[in-house]
Structures are given as structure tokens and as C-alpha cells.
Amino acid sequence: MVYDFIVVGAAQAGLSMAYELKQMNANYIVLDKEDEIGASWLNRWDSLKLFTPTEFNHLQGLDFPAPKGHYPNKYEVANYFKTYVDTFEIPVQLNTLITNIYKNDGLFVLESEDENFVCHNVILATGPFHIPYTPPFYKKISPNIKQWHSNYYKNPDQLQDGDCMVVGAGDSGFQILDEISQTGRKTYFSGQTKVKTLPQEILGKTLWWWFCKTGYLSIHKYHWLGKFISKSKQPVIGVDVKGILNRKNVIAVGKTIDAENETIITENQSIKDIKNIIWATGYRPNFSWIVGIELDKEGYPVHRRGVSNSKGLYFIGLPWLHTRGSATLGGIKKDAKYLANHISTISELVAD
């Protein structure tokens, strides 16, 4: 079968695009490498919650089923996705990892281990988080010290007895530091301590209400202010960073520089009593499996609002695809609608 469209990725970006394709009566399928809908969320740490309250988490056509002002956990998000798929009868094929995409005689060929797929148009909705990044010197650390990237961290029960270090000063790093330090164990923190923070509520209104009221989420990346914001360090939201760092069992040690066996070398000291390390050190993009794709200097696809330089190849779910809101659960629908409108005006891209 030759599909009009194949969407790769069945999280919020892929499902939002699938909804629009369904409205267009397109012949399409959504492919996902995981074994269940919502797995990209379920695989994160157990206590993970959204920064955005319910009223800002609605995908097109179906409201998030929770009270206004509620901050959903990862299980609620996954269940919402499952309900979304069932409600709109979205054709999703799971356990399908696409390893290569190329063009042949004007059609896209998507290869997986078990079968190949052919289509006129591909919409990549695999998100920005592809390869968990850990500093190369992690290999020099003794196997007696257990190490996890935050992508594989679940909860403190994973940790072996003894002290822990959390590396990374982003949202994930501070959330995990908060959780682990609450167990009472000595917890070293490696990263910047002077970070921008924002509360989840200001003057009785949610932070996201203020973002919408001021137009912050609608500033596009080509505007001078959007260029400034997109290049700036993003604030940590809804976490009492100062309070966490002031705990007696939390020791800030600066940047982690190197390691040798059971000694971890940081800016402030060399540490020899660590038994666990959580690397909340982010991800690197990986689009090497798409033949002929043009990438920017940061390794992301070159595009204009999700429309690539290659005819029939589209992207959704990338950071700052168009605005700051592009990265939010409720903001993705605007990008999906734009792509759908763009596609609908180019009739020759849709198979008869």
C-alpha cells in the first residue's frame, strides 16, 4: 500500500497531526517504536508532573479530563493519549522502529526491521529527545558506582545504599534532586546554583495564564524577542531551588569535570564516597537515519514552521518549531493546524 501520509511518532505531536489528517480524509498511518500509547511519558521518572495545568493541556477535539488548575502526572497524560487514539480511531502501529527513510522514484520509503512502508509524504513527530547525553568520562567511573541517565531514572528505590550525586541544573535535575534528597541521604548537586526560577502561580493565577495573557507563548522565533528568548537559558518552573539547595544533606559541588575509578572530580572538591549518580544532562538530536536531510548547526532539521526543504517531508514537535508554545501539550495543535492548512493548499502532494 502507498499511503498519502505516514506519521512517525505517536505522542502529542504525532497524535495532533493525525487528528488533522483525519479531518482531511487522508490515507495515513502513525508508526511508533514503543509497545503502548503514551510510553514516551510512562518511561520517565515516577513522580513526573506537567508544569502546565489542565486548561492548557487540551489537544484539538478532546479536552484533558481533569479539573481546572490540576497539574497532571505522567500516567494521566498517557491515559489521555490512549483515549484520544480510541476516540478518533487513529490508526497506530506500535512496535515499529523506523531505521531509515529515503526517496525512491518520488516516493518515501520507510524501513523497519520487519517491513517497509511507502508514502507520498512523511511527517516526523519523534520529538527533540533522541540520544541521552552523558559526559564521556562516565566510562572511567568504577562499576561499584551505579549510574543512570535521567531518561532511565524511576525513583529512589533504584539507588543502592549510600550517597548520591545529581548532575544537571535543568527542570529534571532539580526535580530529581528534590526527590532523592528527601530520602535523607547525602546528596551532592553538580551544576549551576544560580538559575532563573518561576513559580507555578503568581497573584492567584497560574504562570501559564500569565504567559497567555502577555502573549509570551505566541512570540515566534523569527521575531527579535523570540530570537532572544529561544537562545536564553530556560527558567526552572515550579521548583523551590533555593529551598532544596539549603537542605543540610544537599552539597553543591559545582561542575563535574572528570572521574577516576571511585573518585569524582568537581570544581569544588574531589568526592570519594558516592554510590549513585543521576545524569540529568539532557539529550542530543539524531536525524542521521533520514537520507539527504539538511540539518542546522545544532543538529536539528532545517525547516520553516515544520515545512522542510525536501518536498513532502514535514516536522512537528521540535523545540521552538515556531513559538515557545510549540513545546507545550496544548500548544502543539496550532503547529498541526498550520501544517494541515499548508498541505491542503498543495493538492498534488496528496495521492488520489
Report yes or no: 185 and 249 within 8 Å, Cβ to Cβ.
Answer: yes
User: Please, which residues bridge with residue 270 across strands?
Assistant: 265
What are the tens digits of pLDDT across the range 53-105?
A: 999 999 999 999 999 989 999 999 999 999 999 999 999 999 999 999 999 99
Indicate the helix (H) or strand (E) that contains 87: helix 74-87
What are the tens digits of pLDDT across the range 226-266?
A: 566 667 677 788 889 999 999 999 999 999 999 999 999 99
HEC per residue, 296-327 = CCCCCECEECCEECCCCEEECCCCCCCEHHHH
What are the tens digits of pLDDT across the range 274-292?
A: 999 999 999 998 998 999 8
What secondary structure does DSSP assign to 102-161, as a single string?
EEETTEEEEEESS-EEEEEEEEE---S--EE---GGGGGB-TTSEEEETTT---GGGSPS
Residue 221: pLDDT band (50, 70, 90) is low
How, if at all, do strands 263-266 and 270-271 pair?
Answer: antiparallel
What are the tens digits of pLDDT across the range 14-36?
A: 999 999 999 999 999 999 999 99
User: Please, which residues bridge with residue 219 across strands?
Assistant: none
How, if at all, do strands 263-266 and 116-124 pair?
Answer: unpaired
Distance CA 35, CA 10 (A): 11
Indicate the helix (H) or strand (E) that contains 84: helix 74-87
Percent of the chain exceeding pLDDT 90 equals: 67
Mention every residue, 6+ apart, whose C-beta is less than 8 A from residue 329: 12, 50, 52, 56, 57, 59, 64, 77
Residue entry with cell 572511567 = 140
Indicate the helix (H) or strand (E) that contains 276: strand 274-279
Strands of the sheet containing 270-271, edge to edge, are 256-260, 263-266, 270-271
C-alpha cell at position 30: 502513525
Report the half-sphere exposure of 47 (CA within 13 A, side-chain side).
Answer: 14
C-alpha cell at position 84: 484520544
Domains of the chain: 2-130+285-349 (3.50.50.60), 133-196+233-279 (3.50.50.60)
Grouping H, G, I as helix, E, B as strand and the rest as coil, residue 85 is helix
